[in-house]
Structure 1
């Protein structure tokens, strides 16, 4: 056997970690579309129930450290994100952050709830039309957490589906039809933005069209999470251009 010498190089690119749900079929594809090539993304999975209930969501808190620990242990991550909107609302952003930090080394953490709050503050949004795929007991927790942060959801609709596998099969067309019914076009709309909740819901294909039709910002779980993680990392490349209806909004989010 011939043995060769080799050189090594330090890690110099922003590095993001993502804890995706075992049942999630959407978030990785969306992140590949949203994140620039200038950052590295490493993904692990966390056990999650077949049905989405407050109990199955709460169970993930115990599994967060172990899931995060399956990310490369030699990497100091700029940001680690937990990819579950309802789980973040049920467990609580602070407890999610603690669980992730107990499993991996990182400078910042995020999840869709904190990301949405940050995006709303950047854009000056206070009243959302919320579209959720889930049953009332799950959705009401999210609405209560948002209200605690000063974000009201006076307009709310749901597909009322508990099974994650069926949520992943909901078509973008179904999302668009429900969203149009929820959020009448500005200036008559009683809200100042539309939020499409759930990392496993196929929302990205319809976001630009919905924005043009209703004249309001349209945000989704994966969109705000990717943006927030990039912002926390100090990287550039995603300014939510595809969901901005004015240059002033674009400037606020860069």
Structure 2
């Protein structure tokens, strides 16, 4: 086994069953994954606000593991209170653990900037209300949402039972000729294994909550890395 020299810190919702196996599968062999969980069972307005009440306590646990960087890889909670809310969450994590931090929302916007993405379509397994909140955050940050699709699932554990094929199918349904990219939102939705195929079939970048979170956190860790097979963002792109 290759020696693990970097430590990736992940804050995830308590009902998330997707991120740990997805992240562990794709992270470079010299990077180990270390997780802490924040209480969330349903993807609803109250739960996506309350989840961050535990932020400092769980971030401090990751500090105990001496991680190199931390990500809150949850799109709905990190966009819940509008433009700039993600940066406030980053600051709270950094203060609690003394390490650089990012969120799913922050990573998403940085990836849009890097790829010069101005217009997207949004696909997600959660409800229309959550989709509207996320879309409003994206548009307030300067990126147009041309079209969106939502499956209407509230229970996060149910989202974790969905196959990656549902992400491919909804991404195709949401696509728009004028869109620069497709964004597959929700960290508990299996997406990584279909990104390459969806990019090939649509001819445009496909980003997901988890691909953006891995990409941004790996840049914070500052290792020499490339993760092929999961879309162009992870294969060969760095922050400028």
Same fold (TM over 0.5): yes
Tell me if the contact between 1:239 and 1:253 (Cα under 8 Å) persists in the aligned partners. Answer: no
Secondary structure of the residue aligned to 1:70 is helix
Secondary structure of the residue aligned to 1:119 is helix
Distance in 2 separating the partners of 1:177 and 1:146? 22
Equivalent residues, number:
234
**What corresponds to 2:178 in structure 1?**
190
**What corresponds to 2:118 in structure 1?**
126
Distance in 1 separating the partners of 2:71 and 2:237? 24
**What corresponds to 1:97 in structure 2?**
90
**Aligned counterpart in structure 2 of residue 172 of structure 1, from 159, 164, 181:** 164
- Shift, 1:152, TM fit: 1.4
Q: CA deviation digits over 1:183-230, x for unaligned, max 9?
A: 15xxxx120100100110011121111111110101111111001001
Q: CA deviation digits over 1:75-129, x for unaligned, max 9?
A: 2x431111211011115212312332343221x1111111011111111111111
Q: Does 1:79 align with 2:72?
A: no
Distance in 2 separating the partners of 1:59 and 1:234? 32
**Aligned counterpart in structure 2 of residue 111 of structure 1, from 103, 116, 129:** 103
Pick which of 18-27 and 131-140 moved more. 131-140
Tell me if the contact between 1:35 and 1:238 (Cα under 8 Å) persists in the aligned partners. Answer: no
Q: Does 1:55 align with 2:55?
A: no
Larger radius of gyration: 1
Pick which of 234-243 and 141-150 moved more. 234-243
- Shift, 1:239, TM fit: 5.4
Tell me if the contact between 1:34 and 1:223 (Cα under 8 Å) persists in the aligned partners. Answer: no
Unaligned runs of 5+ in 2: none
Alignment of 1:11-30 (within 5 A): 13-30=5-22
- Shift, 1:153, TM fit: 1.0
* CA RMSD after TM alignment: 2.3
Distance in 1 separating the partners of 2:87 and 2:26? 26
Distance in 1 separating the partners of 2:13 and 2:224? 26
Pick which of 211-220 and 173-182 moved more. 173-182
Secondary structure of the residue aligned to 1:226 is helix
Unaligned runs of 5+ in 1: 1-11
Q: 1:74 to 1:190 in 2, by over 3 A?
A: closer
- TM-score with structure 1 length normalisation? 0.84
Distance in 2 separating the partners of 1:117 and 1:56? 23
- Shift, 1:173, TM fit: 2.0
Secondary structure of the residue aligned to 1:15 is strand
Q: Does 1:224 align with 2:212?
A: yes
- TM-score with structure 2 length normalisation? 0.89
**Aligned counterpart in structure 2 of residue 67 of structure 1, from 33, 46, 58:** 58
